[in-house]
A and B are shown apart, each in its own frame.
Chain A
Amino acid sequence: MSLGIIGCERSGFPALCALGKEEPEIWDRIVEVFPVPCLGGVDEETILRILLRCDTLLLVGCPPASCRNAWGSTLAEKRVARVSQLLEEAEIPKRVFCVFANPNRLGELKARVVV
């Protein structure tokens, strides 16, 4: 199962790096990595484009309450939900998830990435 990761510069991307140090095998499965200023700037088309090159895409970012741009993570959640619905409707066997993480909070990310 190939993974794509979009990580926000503030929390998500650093979280990925921290996890990568702990569990270097994850890099075998991760085929795409995109650091972005904020998850709120990722639109549905981008998500769908990246899904061409992986089976599962994770949008990793600040927990909603601590998003530096206030609504970045919340917007990302909505868009991910929308895309998930489109994928289901079109019967495309790919998945996209929102994951909230930072270097001190790796539990959720680990669960999604580590086999």
Chain B
Amino acid sequence: MIVGERKPLREILESLSPYREVLVLGCGACVTVCLAGGEKEAREVAALLRLKGFAAEAASVERQCEREFLVPLREKIPAFQAVLSLACGVGVQTLSEVFPGIPVLPGLNTSFMGAPLAQGVWEERCIGCGECIVHRFGGICPVARCAKNLLNGPCGGSKNGRCEVRPDRDCAWQLIYDRMKALGRLEELFVIQPPKNWGPSRFGAQRKIVREDVRR
């Protein structure tokens, strides 16, 4: 899922300072799961804004990234001067597209595609490279989890299973090594992985998927 965190309140308050009537819009998908922007969080932020003198109201939709869930807000929106979206970056932009006439401020900093490790702990797992090769590494993605996205890792900075970048960060290659060893597939790591084709990734040309077979 997409994982993000609420922006610092000071930043939110500053961005809302030109306005009084604000709609705080939550999203029922990823940001609910990572406890950052769901209905509960939207209500809390709206209540906080009211304490700061804003005329704030909270609402939430199933998913802010889909027009069909936003269109019903058409009647509600004109009553407000701005919308504080607690959705991920996708939701914020979709909201802006569907309601171009009203300022939409992001209330979250969207970070990564990841998974919960425990309640309150989320970690990145996928960077959307567009060409999944995790099976070559025992199901652990070096593109997302190695700080240098090495395909022929590890680098010389791996120590005690930790990455040189941060002591609390696992060395993905230690994890890969351990996993492949346990699976009895260590020799597969002796094969030289060729340079990655970054074309399908965010560094490439086009990031759009069209499924003709399901289009109306």
A and B: direct contact (Cβ < 8 Å)?
yes
Q: Give the shortest distance, in Å, between B38 (CB) and chain A (any CB).
A: 12
Check A111 for interface membership: any CB of B closer than 8 A: no
Mostly, the B contact residues are helix
In the complex, A90→B9 CA distance in Å? 6
A90 touches B47 (CB 8 A): no
Query: What string of 1s and 0s marks CB contacts (under 8 Å) between B25-61 and chain A?
Result: 0000000000000001001100110111000000000
Q: When the two chains form their complex, are residues B48 and A90 in contact, meaning their CB atoms are under 8 A apart?
A: yes
A92 touches B50 (CB 8 A): no
Complex Cα distance, B48 from A51, in Å, reads 9
| Residues of chain A within 8 A of B47, CB atoms compared | 44-45, 48-49, 52
B215 to chain A, nearest CB (A): 42
Output the least CB separation between B86 and chain A (Å). Answer: 14
A92 in contact with B40 (CB, 8 Å): no
B51 and A48 contact, CB distance less than 8 A: yes
Sorting the interface of chain B by its residue count into under 10, 10 to 19, 20 to 34 or 35 or more gives 10 to 19
Q: Known interface pairs A86-B48, A92-B48. Does A45 touch B40 (Cβ–Cβ under 8 Å)?
A: yes
Question: Which residue from chain A places its CB closest to the CB of B8 in the assembled complex?
Answer: A89
Per-residue contact bits, chain A 50-67, to B (CB 8 Å; 1 contact, 0 not): 011000000000000000
Counting CB contacts under 8 A, is B13 at the interface?
A: yes
Q: Is A110 an interface residue (CB 8 A)?
A: no
- A interface residues, tally (CB under 8 Å): 14
Q: Bound complex: CA of A86 vs CA of B50, how far in Å? A: 13
Among candidates A43, A44, A92, residue contacting B51 with C-beta atoms closer than 8 Å: A92
B10 interface residue (CB < 8 Å to A): yes
B51 closest partner in A (C-beta): A92
Cα-based distance from A45 to B50 in the complex (angstroms): 11
Specify which chain B residues have a CB less than 8 angstroms from the CB of A94 in the assembled complex.
51
Chain B 1-23 per-residue mask, 1 if CB under 8 angstroms from chain A, else 0: 00000001110010000000000
Docked CA distance A65–B189 (Å): 55
> What residues of B have a CB within 8 angstroms of the CB of A89 in the complex?
8-10
Binding site for B on A (CB under 8 A): 43-45, 48-49, 51-52, 86-87, 89-92, 94
List 4 additional contacts besides A45-B44, A89-B10, A90-B13; criterion CB under 8 Å. Answer: A45-B43, A86-B9, A90-B52, A91-B10
In the complex, the 5 A-B pairs of residues with the closest C-beta atoms, listed nearest first: A48-B47, A45-B43, A89-B9, A90-B9, A92-B51
